[in-house]
């Protein structure tokens, strides 16, 4: 994939994320960027049985959705990296090759949080362990260690409950009622920074392609997000293949149709790439892009 975000250190990471998050319901691409982020977060959350709003709040608290984020230096001289703020050692343990690539990092963060919930019994303690480390939370529960004020504030900000409350409830999740992801993103997002500006540019670029390859499509949001989560790895393994994007649009007055799709400049180019994707084991067909104006 072309490295279009040259000013950011993980240039390919931000470009990959942008091309993975496109939604084309309305012409306001800044709004589309927020919805696109929600689609990506929801895909990672659902694949790991997490509430999407919980994952969104964790990632916002960690990095403000900044794929280029670098944390302060720890006593051991390390810094947390990327949108999910993985420490280098944790990234290696989790099999995360590039923490600055959100397409890789978000599913890894969701999987880690899911495992922490299984280990500690609920989402509040999972959040505490994500922030302070599992060993620190185990020691606190055993009465041999304390929790930093940062972790206490972190859990309260994400879940609306104090970590002591979570320790008392055991295997239960006492989260507030589900929040619409797009409303949550709008309420959390303070003036869009470089990440959202670049995402907006990628949205505009992706929507300009006259042809496309459809990898999954349908009225079921869950089906398409699940298919996207399973096919993304296969497509990323193909040299030179663009990242699939997620779109949501009303076509010919019908209900909203969700698609996992790759844009292409010409029909022959789309056919060639589609053949490569089929050879890799994924379904694919070529379609003229909506609103392309071509005949």
Higher pLDDT, 195 or 240: 240
What pLDDT score does 22 carry?
A: 37
pLDDT at 169 over 50: yes
What pLDDT score does 72 carry?
A: 86
What pLDDT score does 181 carry?
A: 67
Token pair of 142, please? Answer: 């055993």
What pLDDT score does 222 carry?
A: 77
Nearest-angstrom CA–CA distance, 5 and 164: 43
The domains found in the chain, sorted by start residue, are: 11-32+194-288 (3.30.70.1070), 51-169 (1.10.530.10)
pLDDT at 209 over 60: yes
Residue range 112-133: mean pLDDT, rounded: 96
Whether 150 is a known active-site residue: answer no
Catalytic one of 42, 62, 198, 243: 62
pLDDT at 254 over 70: no
Nearest-angstrom CA–CA distance, 122 and 112: 13
Residue range 240-248: mean pLDDT, rounded: 72
Query: For the chain, what is the total number of helices (H) and then of strands (E)?
Result: 13, 4
What pLDDT score does 184 carry?
A: 65
Lowest mean pLDDT among 150-154, 161-165, 207-211, 249-253: 249-253
What pLDDT score does 161 carry?
A: 87
Higher pLDDT, 149 or 23: 149
Higher pLDDT, 214 or 22: 214
Q: Angle at the Cα of 18 (from 107 to 123), degrees rounded to 5?
A: 30
pLDDT at 9 over 70: no
Most confident listed range (64-68, 184-188, 203-207): 64-68
pLDDT digits (tens, 9 = 90+) for 70-97: 988 888 888 999 999 999 999 999 999 9
pLDDT at 226 over 60: yes
Q: How much of the chain, in percent, has pLDDT values that exceed 70?
A: 70
Nearest-angstrom CA–CA distance, 135 and 138: 5
Please state at what angle helix 102-120 crosses helix 134-142, rounded to 10 degrees: 20
Helices (H), 64-211: 88-93, 102-120, 123-132, 134-142, 149-159, 163-169, 181-188, 194-207
């Amino acid at each position: 994939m072309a490295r279009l975000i040259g000013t950011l250190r993980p240039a390919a990471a931000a470009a990959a994320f942008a091309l993975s998050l496109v939604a084309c319901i309305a012409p306001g691409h800044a709004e589309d960027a927020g919805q696109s982020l929600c689609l990506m977060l929801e895909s990672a959350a659902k694949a790991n049985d997490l509430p999407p709003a919980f994952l969104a709040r964790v990632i916002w608290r960690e990095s403000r959705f900044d794929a280029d984020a670098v944390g302060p230096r720890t006593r051991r001289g390390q810094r947390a990296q990327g949108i999910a703020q993985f420490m280098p050692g944790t990234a290696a343990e989790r099999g995360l090759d590039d923490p600055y690539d959100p397409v890789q990092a978000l599913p890894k963060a969701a999987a880690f949080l899911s495992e922490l919930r299984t280990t500690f019994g609920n989402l509040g303690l999972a959040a505490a362990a994500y922030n302070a480390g599992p060993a620190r939370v185990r020691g606190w529960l055993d009465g041999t260690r304390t929790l930093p004020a940062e972790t206490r504030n972190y859990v309260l900000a994400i879940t609306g409950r104090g970590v002591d409350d979570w320790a008392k409830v055991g295997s239960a999740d006492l989260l507030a009622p589900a929040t619409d992801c797009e409303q949550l993103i709008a309420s959390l997002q303070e003036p869009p920074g470089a990440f959202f500006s670049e995402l907006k540019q990628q949205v505009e670029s992706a929507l300009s392609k006259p042809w496309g390859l459809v990898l999954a499509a349908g009225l079921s949001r869950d089906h398409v997000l699940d298919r996207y989560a399973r096919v993304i790895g296969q497509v990323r393994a193909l040299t030179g293949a663009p990242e699939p994007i997620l779109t949501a649009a009303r076509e010919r007055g019908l209900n909203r149709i969700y698609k996992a799709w790759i844009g292409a400049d010409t029909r022959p180019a789309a056919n060639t790439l589609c053949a490569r994707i089929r050879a890799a084991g994924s379904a694919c067909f070529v379609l003229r892009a909506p609103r392309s104006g071509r005949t």
